[in-house]
Chain A
Amino acid sequence: MRKRYFVGGGILAVAVGLLVYASLGSAVSYYLTVSELLDRGSELYGERVRVAGKVVDNSIEWDADTLKLDFVITEGGEDLLVVYEGARPSGLKEDSNVLVEGEYRSDNTFQASTIILKCPSKYEPQE
């Protein structure tokens, strides 16, 4: 009686395990900073990665007609040009911390599919 349950539960667990195994590979991406990405350079061409950095002053260019957005993020003294198609996210400002998700291309630009803004958890009033 008990045994049957362990077998049944075991089969379910194995099935779920296989499902996890099959789904995990394509869903995992590296999470790097700009300098880490540039250090590894060409080996990451075409890979899905997440990169964190800070938006460089006066680098945001947004064309409302074509919905093209590009900006440069920096970290560890190195810069990365991010290219994105879509709406300009509110909150994307000079000096703000962002997380971009997408593909590092062979022309050393980053084609972002998602832009996530890293807001400071607490809003500090301007002094």
Chain B
Amino acid sequence: MGTAEIGQGAIILAFLAALVSAVVAGIGARTGSRRFISITRISVISIAVLYSLALATAVFAFLTRDYSLKIVSEHVDSSLPAAYALSALYADKGGSVLLWGWLISLFSALIASRKHEYDNSILPCMLCVLAAIQLFFLAMVTFVVNVFEKNPAPVAEGVGLNPLLQNVAMLIHPPMLYLSFAAVSVVFAIVIAALITHTPGAQWVRWVRRWALFGWCTLGLGNLIGMWWSYNELGWGGYWAWDPVENAGLMPWLLITAFVHSISVQRQRNHLQRWSLVLAILTFEFTLLIPFITHGGIESPLHGFYGSHFPPYILAVILVTLAGSLGLLYMRRKDFQKDERSFTLISREGASEVTNIILVLLTAVILFGTVLPRVVELFGGTQIAIDRSFFDRVAGPIMLLLVFFMGVCPLLGWAKTSWQSVRSNFVFSLLATLLVVVIILIVGGGKWYLISAAVCSFPVFTILLEWFRRAKARHQDRKENYLRASLAMLNSNRPRYGGFLVHIGIILITLGIIASSFYSAENMVSLDVGQSMKVGEYDLAYDELILKGSQTKVSAVATVSMSRQGRHIGNLYPENNYWFSYMDTFAEVAVRTTPAEDVFVSLVWTSFDQQNKSVTIRAMINPLVVWIWVGGGLLLIGGVVAFSHQERRDSQYKDR
């Protein structure tokens, strides 16, 4: 029995186990029988074991370059390093689904093995939903794309992995996204189970919180790593192009961001429950939508790996689950009537609700721009394209509004805020912001610097001020020094201060995006050895070109010496590689990063001829780009801080 048979067998057994789990869990949920619940738990864990076996065989086939399997021969060759051979698994459409489904099975097994965390009434129901989701994924890897399909004839050497995917970011980016999608499935399962079993909001929100935060954090980081890859690998000098595949990753993130905020209101105030439920359902549907959107994206061959036979199935599943979930929500409408409380618009609930609405509108607009060309094509016949200026113009202002709201929220209290209580903070922050604006006016900078500085510094000041005020109170009460007081404060309310850290991260990202969008400089010229070019305030001299051959490619490495105002700063070594397997060239950019700006150099053209060393170099100065990645780091830290807060089982809700 070969690898293919073992893998295929494990998948089929996992499929049967998922079928059993769904049925048994259903019976367990209906009857509440402990025996059925125990059987469900065992069978859910067995799905994960079988799934792991299937994944392990696939990984083994990749590492040993077992070219008898189609998936292996199509994505790797013998010269590929082992780490990339591993990532080649999810360069394949079937491999991606396998990985995605496997993570869902792991999370389901985790839930099944921690029975004390969830009530016996909701646990079988959750496992039933999760088993149904797994059935869908297993059906895809069994019937739609067969991961373990064999090559009809022996193959001596594989095709190899697309050079653009041979980048460290591509080892992390896809698994991060699948981790988050799997967590979103769990969120969906909890929410649906809660609706079915009439579980009160105060209870399910406790179970869902960490899964949602985990999904939010991994999706955010996954997207940022994708941006980093785009910037450092694709060589066009940007990191975001409003490409359908990027939008497909952004939309569920915006929705889950809204969800995380609305459950935080719900957790504290038991409000916004229905809204949270809708968001959870929508987020889940959007994660399923991703393969539908990325399919056939001619603009993005790298993501075009979802086969043409996927979409109809997926669209049908999305529509059915969406209709079913919303129908269920409608049937349970009477559950929510009791605990609505009133609050005014100028309160934290009010501001949260407005932020939520804005996030959903933003998602809707991005969805509109992404699918409009397809819809027009489907109904009108003519083909149209929407270029990125649409997204820039629409999403830009909405995102700035969101950043502004980050500054408003910390000022407000729950339920009702009196003007007196916010006035001093508000006035102080506003004055500080004005000061920043005045400084920029004096120092000089364009109107976009001005607008962004104003919008970004206001929330920074309100957040820092709130932090300082609390730390000061602690300092006075307990005689702790400020650092200690800050840390203790952070520890005492991790969700809140984790959120503050995330907000500062988002503001840094915003600054980086605005500065690099409006103030980058670019120049592209062809140079001979000894000639130099100017970009921004920098002089770039082309000193030397070295050609190196290897088994897989010929590399041309240019030495570019950088100087600023006559002072030499350092050398950059942009490359251009000719890959034999692709019969094509791929540039590897060289970037010098400082807190103020990146010098980005790409060797876009060379003849690969020892005699003719002339090259075409594209150079850019991209201000403040590094702050996008620093902001991403804060996102992670803030996410971990908020995640580390664990609610006790018996915790009573404030104000309840």
Contacts and interface: CB of A to CB of B under 8 A. Distances in A.
B is a partner of A: yes
Interface of A is mostly: mixed
A123 B159 contact: yes
B604 A23 contact: no
B299 A116 contact: yes
Interface size class of B (residues with CB under 8 A): 35 or more
Contacts of A50: 385
A127 to B, nearest CB: 12
A64 B393 contact: no
A9 B357 contact: yes
Contact of B398 (A5, A16, A101, A119): A16
Contact of B361 (A1, A5, A12, A28): A12
A31 B377 CA distance: 10
B142 interface: no
Contact of A30 (B384, B587, B605, B614): B384
Nearest to B157: A125
A90 B578 CA distance: 10
Interface size class of A (residues with CB under 8 A): 35 or more
A16 to B, nearest CB: 5
B471 to A, nearest CB: 35
Contacts of B390: 23-24, 27-28
Contact of A99 (B298, B397, B618): B298
Contacts of B388: 27
Interface of A: 1, 4-5, 8-9, 12-13, 16, 19-20, 22-24, 26-32, 50, 64-65, 67, 86-88, 90-91, 93, 99, 101, 116-123, 125
A29 B301 contact: no
Top 4 closest pairs, chain A to chain B, by CB: A27-B390, A119-B301, A31-B383, A87-B604
Contacts of B607: 64
Nearest to A90: B585
A93 B582 CA distance: 12
Interface string B569-603: 00000000000001011110000000000000000
Contacts of B582: 123
A67 B162 contact: no
Contacts of A99: 298-299
A101 B361 contact: no
B397 A19 contact: yes
Most buried by A among B358, B385, B614: B385
Contacts of A101: 385, 387
Most buried by A among B357, B586, B614: B357
Most buried by A among B162, B526, B587: B526
B480 interface: no
Given A24-B390, A28-B386, A87 B368 contact: no
B584 A91 contact: yes
16 contacts: A8-B345, A19-B393, A26-B389, A27-B390, A28-B390, A29-B387, A50-B385, A64-B526, A67-B526, A87-B524, A87-B618, A101-B387, A116-B298, A118-B298, A118-B301, A122-B305
B384 A16 contact: no
Most buried by A among B382, B390, B585: B390
A9 to B, nearest CB: 5
A19 B354 CA distance: 18
Contact of A65 (B74, B345, B382, B526): B526
B616 interface: yes
B159 A125 contact: yes
Contacts of B387: 27, 29, 101
B651 to A, nearest CB: 29
A88 B605 contact: yes
Nearest to B377: A31
Contacts of A28: 384-386, 390
A84 to B, nearest CB: 13
B365 interface: yes
Contacts of B386: 24, 27-29
Contact of A67 (B301, B368, B616): B616
A91 B390 CA distance: 28
A23 B301 contact: no
A13 B345 CA distance: 17
A105 B158 CA distance: 45
Given A27-B389, A31-B384, A90-B584, A117 B357 contact: no
Interface string B352-392: 01100110010011001000010000000011111111100
Contacts of B382: 30-31
B304 interface: yes
A121 B92 CA distance: 11
B358 A12 contact: yes
Contacts of A116: 298-299
Contacts of A118: 298, 301
Contacts of A8: 345, 354, 357
Most buried by A among B305, B353, B394, B585: B394
Nearest to B163: A90
B337 interface: no
Contact of A20 (B162, B357, B368): B368
Nearest to A97: B298
A23 B299 contact: no
B578 to A, nearest CB: 9
Contacts of A31: 373, 382-385
Contact of B304 (A5, A29, A121): A121
Contacts of B393: 19, 22-23, 27
A113 to B, nearest CB: 10
Given A27-B387, A28-B385, A119-B301, A87 B357 contact: no
Interface in B482-536: 524-526
A86 B229 CA distance: 23
Contact of B524 (A1, A24, A30, A86): A86
Interface string B439-480: 000000000000000000000000000000000000000000
